[in-house]
Structure 1
Amino acid sequence: MSALLALLDVHGDGTTWVGPASGPEGKRAFGGQFMGQSLAAAARTVAPQKQPTSMHLQFLRGGEAGDAVDYAVTDVFDGRTAAARRVDATQAGRLLTTATVSFAAPMAGPEHGRRDVMPGDPEALPRTGPAGPAPSMPLDEIDIRLDDDRSTGEFVRRLWWRVTVPVPDDALLHTVIAAYVCDVYMIDPALAVHGHSMVARTHRSGTTDSSIWFHRRVHADRWNLLETRSPAAARGRGVITGSLIGSDGVITATLAQEGLIAEREQPAAD
């Protein structure tokens, strides 16, 4: 099994699940690990015909990348066509994240959400990786290409990605992978608007909460475009909104994230 698929393969007894460590030891765990593993744990307790429709996760404390994570899943609701779960992630008894995940069986209804023209060709871009160091991500298995755009005066981040290892034809697994990948440096555009970056460490930065609404099936082994922008920032926090778009122009998910982008305190003069 690939490193990515092994990382997202949680094991448990029906209410408590364990997510593998991402490594390396001594580093802070990547937030996408909690997104992907929390979603995987919640889905293990729901009938397969009910697919994820939304996920909302709060980051309360940083985690250790070198340690496994325990996930406690609570049944919130089980109906004929819908279900809801709460997922609490802990390490050594310390609560790190808490999430709510909604599931529903598909139903017929009006549909919209498609790009007629995609902005650019990922194959024409260099393989850049994420917008900063990502020591716990198996980047040899995820092709990431950035194409930031300021042509309209607004900063728009276009992050193309696809998984380069074989992925089983399992719609849930592809959705879990998307939840994992789409967290990578997503708060960075709130700093980029002002000419800064998370990698420069000029500001205290990190995700405080993240939300995803899943509309359609994701194909993680094909090109996906995560297009994000920051509509507002104040009081040391910024908000990012985005769309996940498949290579066929169909919008597969809508995302929103809030993060800390506070100025670092300057050391007192002697």
Structure 2
Amino acid sequence: MTELARQAASGMDAGEPAGGQQVLDHLVALLDLEKLEENFFRGVSPAHSPVRVFGGQVAGQALVAAGRTVPEDRGVHSLHAYFIRGGDPSVPIVYEVDRIRDGRSFTTRRVIAIQHGKAIFSLSASFQKDERGIEHADGMPDVPPPDSLPTLAERVGDFPHLSTMRTRPRPIDLRYVNDPPWLTRETGERPARNQVWMRADGVLPDERLLHVCVLTYASDMTLLDSPLARHGVYWELDKVLGASLDHALWFHRPFRADEWFLYDTETPSASGARGLATGRFFAADGTLIATVVQEGLLRVLD
């Protein structure tokens, strides 16, 4: 196990703050996989993990594993993933990389995450050399700047059932533009759209793949807020069983994950105990940097 991996596995001390550079450094350590042998890597979960491994963690680690087998002049432009089984945070995850293709412009990798001898996650990622071509993009919605918005801890306020959201170590600074779903649940609003400013809560190293993996980690946060909020329910306040089923990301332009970006999500459909959510990431200057689609299992029990 690498020294960074040991730091990630050790978790945060109980007296440490819920965010900041030290917590972000633990995320960077979490994404620093141990190389077992050619095409095999091992990752760990933080000590403060919930019952299941966070989906953004396994997606980010799998993308790191894929990227470690790709030339540095090729950046990831898309990934498609399936969450097959819930991950066990108490044991390491082994990532097996299949080198599908190395072309003149594109490189394709497939990654399987394994625990207890079984696949828990699969990812296909495509990497491309930088090329020039036609350019266009949607514009960013008109939203207030992040520094004018309350923090997540302030938004949680007096909701005792959500107290862990204030104290749980978070490497991502998160500011809701709209009222969060635990508030709209009380007011009777049924918004189909959710907007959140995000950034890594500190300074990241100048490593292109790391910034992409941190955004991948963050992309699994708040995405299923949209289908839940539309029906006036929320994870820790109602009897909801949920899990990510599949996840797709397209990276359009360079960005830094330690600078503010807007996560603009909405839900076109929910049926069959599944909810679909789509999202767009915009840099603070309005540049469209990534697009995401996810379907999640959403079983509302009462």
Q: 1:61 to 1:201 in 2, by over 3 A?
A: farther
Give me the whole-angstrom Cα distance separating, in 1, the residues matched to 2:219 and 2:258.
14
Give me the whole-angstrom Cα distance separating, in 2, the residues matched to 1:159 and 1:198.
18
**Contact 2:143–2:177 under 8 Å retained in 1:** no
Q: 1:116 to 1:136 in 2, by over 3 A?
A: closer
Match of 1:74 among 98, 101, 112: 98
Deviation at 1:186, TM superposition (A): 1.6
| 1:41 aligned counterpart, secondary structure | helix
Q: How does 1:1-270 map to 2 (within 5 A)?
A: 2-12=25-35, 13-24=37-48, 27-115=51-139, 118-128=142-152, 138-139=169-170, 141-148=171-178, 154-264=191-301
**Contact 1:148–1:155 under 8 Å retained in 2:** no
| 1:190 aligned counterpart, secondary structure | helix
| 2:266 aligned counterpart, secondary structure | strand
Q: Where does the alignment leave 5 or more consecutive residues of structure 2 unmatched?
A: 5-24, 157-161
**Contact 1:23–1:67 under 8 Å retained in 2:** no
* 1:81 aligned partner, one-letter code: S
Give me the whole-angstrom Cα distance separating, in 2, the residues matched to 1:189 and 1:112.
27
**Contact 1:19–1:69 under 8 Å retained in 2:** yes
Give me the whole-angstrom Cα distance separating, in 1, the residues matched to 2:237 and 2:89.
21
Give me the whole-angstrom Cα distance separating, in 1, the residues matched to 2:227 and 2:199.
24
Give me the whole-angstrom Cα distance separating, in 1, the residues matched to 2:75 and 2:234.
35
Give me the whole-angstrom Cα distance separating, in 1, the residues matched to 2:117 and 2:71.
29
| 1:48 aligned counterpart, secondary structure | coil
Q: How many residue pairs align between the two structures?
A: 263
Q: 1:203 to 1:26 in 2, by over 3 A?
A: closer
Deviation at 1:185, TM superposition (A): 3.5
Superposition RMSD on alpha carbons, in Å? 2.4
Deviation at 1:114, TM superposition (A): 4.9
Deviation at 1:116, TM superposition (A): 5.9
* 2:233 aligned partner, one-letter code: H
- List per-residue Cα deviations over 1:14-68 (Å, max 9, x = no partner): 3100112223366211000011001100000011111101111101111122322
Give me the whole-angstrom Cα distance separating, in 1, the residues matched to 2:167 and 2:104.
39
**Contact 1:243–1:254 under 8 Å retained in 2:** yes
Greater shift in the superposed pair: 249-258 or 17-26? 17-26
Greater shift in the superposed pair: 114-123 or 59-68? 114-123
Give me the whole-angstrom Cα distance separating, in 2, the residues matched to 1:117 and 1:208.
28
Give me the whole-angstrom Cα distance separating, in 2, the residues matched to 1:128 and 1:134.
8
| 2:152 aligned counterpart, secondary structure | coil
Give me the whole-angstrom Cα distance separating, in 1, the residues matched to 2:264 and 2:50.
32
**Contact 1:52–1:104 under 8 Å retained in 2:** yes
Deviation at 1:118, TM superposition (A): 3.9
Deviation at 1:166, TM superposition (A): 2.1
* 1:7 aligned partner, one-letter code: L
Deviation at 1:136, TM superposition (A): 11
Q: 1:30 to 1:201 in 2, by over 3 A?
A: farther
Give me the whole-angstrom Cα distance separating, in 2, the residues matched to 1:51 and 1:195.
40
**Contact 1:147–1:159 under 8 Å retained in 2:** yes
Q: 1:26 to 1:77 in 2, by over 3 A?
A: same
* 2:246 aligned partner, one-letter code: D
**Contact 2:190–2:230 under 8 Å retained in 1:** no
What residue number does 2:10 align with? none
Identity among equivalent positions (%) equals 33
**Contact 1:65–1:136 under 8 Å retained in 2:** no
- List per-residue Cα deviations over 1:101-131 (Å, max 9, x = no partner): 1111121111112526641111011110699
**Contact 2:263–2:279 under 8 Å retained in 1:** yes
Which structure features the higher share of helix residues? 2
